Structure formats: C-alpha cells, structure tokens
Amino acid sequence: MVKNYVLDTNVLVHDPESIYSFEDNNIVIPLPVLEELDSLKRRSDSVGRSARQVVRELDRLRQSGDLSKGVRLENGGTLTVMSLTNLREDFVEYFRSKYIDNWILAYVVRLSRTSSIPTILVSKDISLRVKASALGIQAQDYLTDRSNLALLPDGYRMSERTISEGESLDGFLENEYIKSPNGYFKVKQGKAAKLSLDLSSTIWGVQPLNEEQLYAMDAMMDDDVSLVTLVGMAGTGKTLIALACALEKTINQKKYRRIIVARPLVPMGKDVGFLPGSLEEKLEPWMQPIMDNLEFLFDRVEMSLKEFLKKNVMEIEALSFIRGRTIPNQFVIIDEAQNLTPHEVKTILTRIGNNTKVVLCGDPYQIDTPYLDKDSNGLVYAASRLIGNPLVAHITLKMGVRSALASLAAERL
C-alpha cells in the first residue's frame, strides 16, 4: 500500500539520497524544510555539503515537472514539495511559533487530515517523533542505512577441532579468524590459512596483548585486505595498533608511500573556527591523542618522533580535508569513525585509490554527533555492509588494555 512519507531536515542532511529510499511511495518535503536547508547550505562542514547536495538534486528534479504537484522519481515514487499558507485551523496557539519543528508537525497534521492514505513522519530527532506521537501522528526513524550492532559478527571464532592448512571451510566468512587447538587461522578464498603472526610477534615495538589484537594486527598487515574495521570500547588499543602497523608497512616494508591519520572534528561546544591561532594550533586539541600514541610508539623503537615528522611521511589532519582527494599508495587511518554518518563513510571510501589500505576504528558507544547512535553510525554501517568481502576484514575488540580502571569505567559507566 502506498504511503506518504514526510521527511524532516535531519534525514536529508544525514543522507542526501534519502528521497530515493522509499520505493514507490510518496515523498513529501514541507516548505519549512527547504528554508532550513537554505540556511544550512552556507556552512563549510559536512552538514553544509549535504544541504547543498539536496538542493542541487531538487533543482534537477524540478526540470522534469512541478514540485508542488509532484514529480515522478526513477524508482516509481513521487516527490512533492508541500506549501501551506493558512494553518490556523489546525493548531493551538503555541504551535504557530517560528520553531521549524512545529511547522513541520503542522504540515504533517494537515496532510494526514486531507489525504486518504497513511502519512508517516520520518525524522532522526527523537523529540520530534515523541511530539508527533502525542499528536496522533505516526513517526519513525530513518531506517534505510541503519544497522544492528548486536548482529555484527566479531570477526573471529573458536574451533574445538584441529584445522589443517588449506582445508576448505564452510560456514565461515572471508577473512574471519579461527582459534584452533593447533594454532590460529583465517579464511582466505574459503580455505584455512595459518597466521604468520602470533602473540609473541612484535610490530614497531608492540606485541599483541590478546588474541583480538593479534587478529587486528594480522588484518592490517595483510596486503590482500584493503579495508579493516575495528570496533571496540575505549582502551582496547585500536588506534595504537593501527598506528604501529601503519608505521611498519610504510617505513620498514615500504609498501605505502605515506600515512594519513584523520579524525572528524566533533567538538563538545564551539566549532574549531572559534579557537585562536593557526590551523595547526586549532587542530592540536583534536589530534593530541594521536600524538600521544606516536610518542609511545617511537619511544618503543628508540627513534625521534620530531625528526620523523619533518620527513612529511605522515599527515595528521582533520577528516574534512580529505574530501575531494584521490588517495593512492597510502595507509589511511580514520580514528573516531563512529562520529561519521554512513554517507560520509561512503564518500571517504569512494575516494580511495589503488594500493591504499584504510582502517576505520572507533567506539560505537561513544558518539558525539547529533542524530547518530550505535546502530546508525558510519563505522557500524560500513562493517555490517562490507564484512565477508575478500577485500575487507572486521574485528571487534572487547578486552581493555589501557588500565584496570579504564576498563572498569568503560564497562560500568
């Protein structure tokens, strides 16, 4: 049965292609949403880019018809921009404010009263969905790119029987790791391959402290794997072992030309532009965790980090500066990837050139970006959609190694 789906602004910003995700149903965009997109398009961050992309797509669609009457979409649905002038008969006084969310609710109520088919509000704003339900309006989250972290495989299993090198393995994912009584294996082209690393192996002065780290380090050292997703709580060593493997592959093995380490700038307050100083000084608070790990690693191999950074072999930068680039022959680490939307992760991965390895790491339970949660963030989205492909390896790290207190706090608080 065909339905009316009214899209909130945050859905369009979260996924600029969301208008094509509702099959043959009717997509309705209230005029206040366009007003909000217009105010957002001037921003220089990912929100502004998404707003501009949506506006450009709407401009393209209006070439084929009247948006106010509905334009046919390629997937069989229709898109309508809804405009109302008189809402007084629908709402009590406090809903006639300039607050955009209230106006969107007014549009949904009017549509539900005048349309003979079900009307559903789609929003990533929990508060707006609650208000809609209080008004008798059916409301839901944007579910198209939503994953389920609880269903994401760990990337490794335990086998009670011995496994032979080259043995065919049914029921296992590609690049899945197996602990057997006779050693550690991984699945390559459907067959068992014994790991070249073990718990005594050292990479850039670092030994794996548990089996999860061993699997992660093996995946990052495997030249056949182009993408590694590391999901784990704070203190499991994700960033440290990723940096160690990047240094080993780039400096010692000469496999890659350069290392790029990037993090999304997600402040808990003011934007980076409000901070004083040069760009490097502005980025320093966000990049300091990376520098802390690098100092530890270079102390382990008794090398000078300062001298190494002068060689320009490593770039440490904000993730926003990676957009628009083609990145070949590099080892790329995206830290705090749980703060990215699925669309942003897709944008980054589609910029990757030949002979480049990407590591996405983060903690889905520590998200600072509005409208993202443990199931809808880009890290879990990428891991869920790509796991099992020969180019991809995924590892869930569960054991905290930073300190007993850090592990306790991550688990209990």
Question: Which structural domain range is residue 89 located in?
Answer: 4-141
Instruction: Report the distance separating Cα 387 and Cα 227, nearest Å.
Output: 10
1 and 118 Cβ atoms separated by less than 8 Å: yes
Q: pLDDT of 271-286, one tens digit each? A: 445 555 555 555 666 6
For position 93, which CATH number holds?
3.40.50.1010
The reply to whether 207 falls in a domain is yes
Instruction: Report the distance separating Cα 17 and Cα 74, nearest Å.
Output: 12
Neighbouring C-beta atoms of residue 271, cutoff 10 Å:
12
Q: Which residues contact 107 (CB under 8 A, 6 or more apart)?
A: 6, 28, 30, 31, 32, 82, 84
Q: Do residues 103 and 210 both lie within one domain? A: no
Q: pLDDT of 163-202, one tens digit each? A: 999 999 999 999 999 999 999 999 999 999 999 999 999 9
| More confident: 405 or 159 | 159
- Segment 217-235 shows an average pLDDT of 96
β-pairing, 119-122 vs 156-158, is unpaired
Q: Do residues 132 and 216 both lie within one domain? A: no
Q: Do residues 223 and 350 both lie within one domain? A: yes
Q: Do residues 292 and 407 both lie within one domain? A: yes
Instruction: Report the distance separating Cα 119 and Cα 121, nearest Å.
Output: 7
Q: pLDDT of 296-307, one tens digit each? A: 999 999 999 999
Q: pLDDT of 302-326, one tens digit each? A: 999 999 999 989 988 877 766 667 7
| More confident: 348 or 402 | 348
Task: Please count the CA atoms within 13 angstroms of the CA of 385 that sit on its side-chain side.
Answer: 17
The predicted pLDDT at position 89 comes to 57
- Mean model confidence pLDDT for the chain: 89
CA 274 to chain centre: 26
**Percent of the chain whose pLDDT exceeds 70:** 90
- Segment 106-118 shows an average pLDDT of 91
For position 305, which CATH number holds?
3.40.50.300
Cα dihedral sign for 295, 296, 302, 308?
negative
Last residue of some domain: 96, 112, 141? 141
Q: Do residues 255 and 348 both lie within one domain? A: yes
Q: Do residues 216 and 132 both lie within one domain? A: no
Q: Do residues 328 and 218 both lie within one domain? A: yes
The reply to whether 169 falls in a domain is no
The reply to whether 163 falls in a domain is no
SS3 sequence of the chain: CCCEEEECHHHHHHCCCHHHCCCCCEEEEEHHHHHHHHHHCCCCCHHHHHHHHHHHHHHHHHCCCCCCCCEECCCCCEEEEECCCCCCCCCCHHHHCCCHHHHHHHHHHHHHHHCCCCEEEECCCHHHHHHHHHCCCEEECCCCCCCCHHHCCCCEEECCCCCCCCCECCCCCCCCEEEECCEEEEEECCEEEECCCCCCCCECCECCCCHHHHHHHHHHHCCCCCEEEEEECCCCCHHHHHHHHHHHHHHHCCCCCEEEEEECCCCCCCCHHHCCCCHHHHHHHHHHHHHHHHHHHHHHCCCCHHHHHCCCCEEEEEHHHCCCCCECCEEEEECCHHHCCHHHHHHHHCCECCCCEEEEEECCCCCCCCCCCCCCCHHHHHHHHHCCCCCEEEEEECCCCCCHHHHHHHHHC
SS3 sequence of 34-79: HHHHHHHCCCCCHHHHHHHHHHHHHHHHHCCCCCCCCEECCCCCEE
Does position 228 have pLDDT exceeding 50, yes or no? yes
- Segment 224-241 shows an average pLDDT of 95
Does position 268 have pLDDT exceeding 60, yes or no? no
**Count of domains forming the chain:** 2
The reply to whether 156 falls in a domain is no
The predicted pLDDT at position 1 comes to 85
The predicted pLDDT at position 84 comes to 80
Last residue of some domain: 141, 156, 179? 141
Last residue of some domain: 124, 141, 158? 141
**Percent of the chain whose pLDDT exceeds 90:** 69
Instruction: Report the distance separating Cα 296 and Cα 244, nearest Å.
Output: 10
- Segment 229-245 shows an average pLDDT of 95
The predicted pLDDT at position 103 comes to 86
Q: Do residues 23 and 109 both lie within one domain? A: yes
The predicted pLDDT at position 270 comes to 42
What pTM, to 2 d.p., does this model score?
0.84
The reply to whether 190 falls in a domain is no
Q: Do residues 119 and 249 both lie within one domain? A: no
The predicted pLDDT at position 267 comes to 46
